[in-house]
Amino acid sequence: MNSLGGIRSWPASWRSTTASMTTTTESVRKVAQVLTVAGSDSGAGAGIQADLKVCAARGVYCASVITAVTAQNTRGVQSVHLLPPQFVSEQLKSVLSDFEFDVVKTGMLASPEIVEVLLQNLSDFPVRALVVDPVMVSTSGHVLAGSSVLSIFRERLLPIADIITPNVKEASALLGGVRIETVAEMRSAAKSLHEMGPRVVLVKGGDLPDSSDSVDVYFDGKEFHELRSPRVATRNTHGTGCTLASCIAAELAKGSSMLSAVKVAKRFVDNALNYSKDIAIGSGKQGPFDHFLGLKKDPQSYRCSAFNPDDLFLYAVTDSRMNQKWNRSIVDAVKAAIEGGATIIQLREKEAETRVFLEEAKSCVEICRSHGVCLLINDRIDIALACDADGVHVGQSDMPVDLVRSLLGPDKIIGVSCKTPEQAHQAWKDGADYIGSGGVFPTNTKANNRTIGLDGLGEVCKASKLPVVAIGGIGISNAESVMRIDAPNLKGVAVVSALFDQECVLTQTKKLHKTLKESKTEH
């Protein structure tokens, strides 16, 4: 079996015949898969629930084997019920014989018998990497794994682990109670733990006293790395260990090297801690935060979470050069276009510096949201993410639509420029929400832009399973001819010069809106 970036390969044996058969078809897409073997947190802040949320946030499929059921909330753990080892074994056999897991991540393994059944099943159904988070004590102080498991951890589990992720308390317990209160002592502990057999040790220093930084020590047997970040002042630290370990597992499953996976996971936790520091769920410590970074969003402020094709009716595309010509800001231009009747705005700013563009985009987002109008960014996925725009529009030479979708998530709008029926079909297949087709007529906003004419527009509309907006050289004089095309999925026109290369954007937008509305009604 192949190894992941130097991660340990397991002995020869594989999945069931059925699982092997499902992956032989070339059309089947392989998805990175993680198995988490841990306890259930009824408060959904740690354990299995945290692992599932993290893997989903990192774009990885995660299955679960539950070792214990807890009664807990944000205040602490009230009760723990261990599942019978035989039932844990049945869960393991069930999923390991079917799925092709890249990585197994362990959390709460509260008895030697449960560790034993895990070891046996991993021997029967090997995977590419094992991430061991030696969960022993909850954030609230409740003991989740007693001293009886320490010997089997040391002698049997750690030697086959690719990485272990103990915090300083857990590292101390594994080493017989040694004191770990400084970074130097963390380094010494990491070295001692590495001698027990794991390929990599990550000692987490979140509980270090008197430290303004969060310091984790990484040791691979040759080199130490001190991973530092500013400590976030928050009580919402429940589940940090589960979050970090499952993020490492997810990144390894996607093919990252070990050190890279650990660095990504640490940034992920830091960002989530900082983002959620003022969120309150329950009356105590919550966690693990808000992995989709969505809890702060006000759902009432998002008109475009479900895309309405009729929004394409009058699609206004900005141009910084034109705004400069008429000595007006992009914010003023967008506001005037919306007040004149524009139903969707696209910011296309080819010459603006990134910093300036981002600030302008943030201001335009506020204006558009206050008027219930969607705002899209042309080409710049980074700007769209940073300003939380409603989506993006990309061209054929830009980032592929399926990759854009993976970055933006399921709720954002994605448009793509298409000149041919083949491109229109591909846009639908890749997950676009609409297509912009043209240039219909010659235009001076794009050099050497091939026009497709009204006939070409009609062919694209006929082939497209998506709503279409026509673009290119369209204005008041020819907008009616465009809207007369016999194509139910032609939802509007996109214009640049017709609005923004005019002295009064408001007046021109009103005129064009009236023309389009009348032609649409007649048609």
DSSP 129-172: EEEE----B-TTS-B-S-GGGHHHIIIIIGGG-SEE--BHHHHH
Rounded to an integer, the average pLDDT of 404-433 is 86
Rounded to an integer, the average pLDDT of 111-135 is 95
3-state secondary structure of 174: helix
Per-residue pLDDT for 277 more than 90? Answer: no
3-state secondary structure of 71: strand
The predicted structure's pLDDT at residue 17: 33
| Residue 1 or 508, more confident | 508
For the chain, give the mean pLDDT: 86
Catalytic residues: 204, 237, 239-242
Using CA atoms, how far apart are residues 265 and 243, in angstroms rounded to an integer?
8
Q: What is the reported pTM?
A: 0.61
Q: How confident is the model at residue 11 (pLDDT cuts 50, 70, 90)?
A: very low
Per-residue pLDDT for 116 more than 80? Answer: yes
- Give CATH for domain 300-522: 3.20.20.70
Instruction: Name the strand (E) or helix (H) holding 279.
Output: none
Q: How confident is the model at residue 22 (pLDDT cuts 50, 70, 90)?
A: very low
3-state secondary structure of 486: coil
Using CA atoms, how far apart are residues 77 and 139, in angstroms rounded to an integer?
9
Residue 138 burial class via C-beta count within 10 angstroms: exposed 0-12, middle 13-18, buried 19 and up: buried
Per-residue pLDDT for 470 more than 50? Answer: yes
Which residues of the chain form CATH 3.20.20.70?
300-522
Which residues of the chain form CATH 3.40.1190.20?
32-164+230-275
Helix axes 85-96, 112-124, angle to 10 degrees: 20
Using CA atoms, how far apart are residues 316 and 394, in angstroms rounded to an integer?
15
Q: How confident is the model at residue 349 (pLDDT cuts 50, 70, 90)?
A: confident
The predicted structure's pLDDT at residue 146: 61
Q: What is the pLDDT of residues 351-372, one digit of tens each?
A: 778 999 999 999 999 999 999 8
Instruction: Describe the chain by its helix, strand, coil percentages, rounded to 5.
Output: 40, 20, 40
Which residues pair with residue 167 across a beta bridge?
204
Q: What is the pLDDT of residues 371-382, one digit of tens each?
A: 989 999 999 999
Residue length of the chain: 523
The predicted structure's pLDDT at residue 235: 78
Q: Per-residue b/e over 383-392, b at no fewer than 16 CB within 10 Å?
A: bbeebebbbb
> What type of residue sits at position 422?
E
Using CA atoms, how far apart are residues 360 and 329, in angstroms rounded to an integer?
9
Using CA atoms, how far apart are residues 253 and 261, in angstroms rounded to an integer?
9
**Mean pLDDT lowest for which of 285-289, 383-387, 477-481?**
285-289
Using CA atoms, how far apart are residues 72 and 104, in angstroms rounded to an integer?
25
The predicted structure's pLDDT at residue 18: 36
Q: Closest Cα to residue 133, out of 269, 5, 272?
A: 269
Using CA atoms, how far apart are residues 96 and 215, in angstroms rounded to an integer?
35
Q: How confident is the model at residue 428 (pLDDT cuts 50, 70, 90)?
A: confident
Is 392 in contact with 408 (CB distance < 8 Å)?
A: yes
Q: Give me the architecture of the 32-164+230-275 domain, per CATH.
A: 3-Layer(aba) Sandwich (3.40)
Write out the two tokens for 502: 């005019």
The predicted structure's pLDDT at residue 291: 54
Using CA atoms, how far apart are residues 43 and 40, in angstroms rounded to an integer?
9
Using CA atoms, how far apart are residues 368 and 303, in angstroms rounded to an integer?
10
Per-residue pLDDT for 350 more than 50? Answer: yes
Rounded to an integer, the average pLDDT of 294-318 is 66
